Amino acid sequence: MSSAALGNRAAMEGYPCGWQWEREGADWPLRAASTRVECAGLSWHVQRLGEPAAGPTVLLLHGTFSSTHSWSGLAPRLARHCQVLMPDLPGHGWTFGARREDMAMTTMAGKLLALLRALGVAPEVIVGHSAGAALAVSMALNSSAVRVLSLNGALLPLAGLGGKLYAPAAQLLQFVPGLARFSAWRSARSDVVDRLLESTGSQLGPAEVHWYRRLASDPGHVAAVMEMMARWDLAGFAHRLAGYQGRLELIAGSRDTTVPASELRRIVVRVPQAKCHVLRDLGHLAHEEDPETVAKLLLGLLGR
């Protein structure tokens, strides 16, 4: 993907940044698999691995604050047996042009469906991590043919006081002038990202931490994350989840402190057909901590 094809985020509507593909993206994970798709008012960064004949088409959806880099260890392992498709979510990573209203769950799910139509792809399986799992279910609500694998999925409002304060706090933060730029500046000059990652229960190596620090230094990415947090209506989604009739596999890390494995019980009450699996001694970013173990589980569930 050329620098000209990628473009300059500063020149596009949405969350501004001066990132250039030939500069900040020169060493991006799985860079050779990247392409750009103009669709649904967005300029999407999409990575594609494997061949259609290899097996089922699997769509990987990262969570908020992340990007396609999150799948760089897992995707090549899956691609030996499947065709793998990975987009950056609106406003995240290298997907440009998102507006505030694009960050709501139902709107984002609709834009992802439009992206799939533009690509001429109908995935049989969607693997969603954290907030990406809610997107996966939203996309599959009207399609019983799609199987959803939720990886440490944030499918219900957080329990307790934290859950009640989460969205209001995010809504307040988004209106503080210059907060996103200040947060990006601070992230580039402190260990705030390292501490945030440690709080997920995952133990990442320096290479994995590096990419989150890189993303957190981008004011546009930070602003999109704040907007997504503010508009993420998990309470409304919980009502829709109760009506979900499709196939759902719930995978949780036993050390996940962001979405604890105990949340599986709350989800199964609403989706009794869901099947549960626990990854021992892994945290919220299990697929980055131990991509080999996660790949074996996913491929086993897919019969590959």
Pairing, β 83-87 against β 42-49: antiparallel
Q: Tell me the β-bridge partners of 61.
A: 128
Pairing, β 42-49 against β 34-39: antiparallel
Q: Is the Cβ–Cβ distance between 171 and 230 less than 8 Å?
A: yes
Tokens representing residue 154 in the block: 């944030």
What is the rounded average pLDDT for all residues in the chain? 86
Residues 6+ apart with CB under 8 A from 106: 138
Using a pLDDT cut of 90, give the percent of the chain over it.
67
Please name the amino acid found at residue 46: V
Q: To the nearest 10°, the Cα dihedral for 290, 247, 64, 206?
A: 0
The CATH topology of domain 3-301 is Rossmann fold (3.40.50)
DSSP 55-80: S-EEEEE--TT--GGGGTTTHHHHTT
**Alpha-carbon Rg for the chain in angstroms:** 18
pLDDT at 11: 35
Tokens representing residue 59 in the block: 């769509």
Q: Is the Cβ–Cβ distance between 112 and 136 less than 8 Å?
A: no
Give residue limits of the domains in the chain: 3-301
Which helix (DSSP H) or strand (DSSP E) does residue 3 occupy? helix 3-6
Average pLDDT on 211-232 reads 87
Model-level pTM? 0.89
Which helix (DSSP H) or strand (DSSP E) does residue 187 occupy? helix 179-187
Which helix (DSSP H) or strand (DSSP E) does residue 249 occupy? strand 248-253
Query: Cα–Cα distance between 293 and 112 in angstroms, integer?
Result: 28
Residues 6+ apart with CB under 8 A from 161: none
* Confidence grade of residue 108 (pLDDT, cut at 50, 70, 90): very high
Please name the amino acid found at residue 268: V
pLDDT digit string, tens, across residues 27-76: 999 999 999 999 999 999 999 999 877 789 999 999 999 999 999 999 99
Among 71-75, 135-139, 230-234, the range scoring the smallest mean pLDDT is 230-234
Which helix (DSSP H) or strand (DSSP E) does residue 248 occupy? strand 248-253
Q: Is the Cβ–Cβ distance between 138 and 237 less than 8 Å?
A: yes
Residues 6+ apart with CB under 8 A from 257: 199, 200, 201, 283, 284
The torsion angles phi and psi of 214, rounded to 5 degrees, stand at: -60, -50
Query: Cα–Cα distance between 15 and 12 in angstroms, integer?
Result: 8
Average pLDDT on 100-105 reads 92
At residue 122, does pLDDT exceed 90?
A: yes
At residue 249, does pLDDT exceed 60?
A: yes
| pLDDT, greater one: 53 or 21 | 21
pLDDT at 174: 52
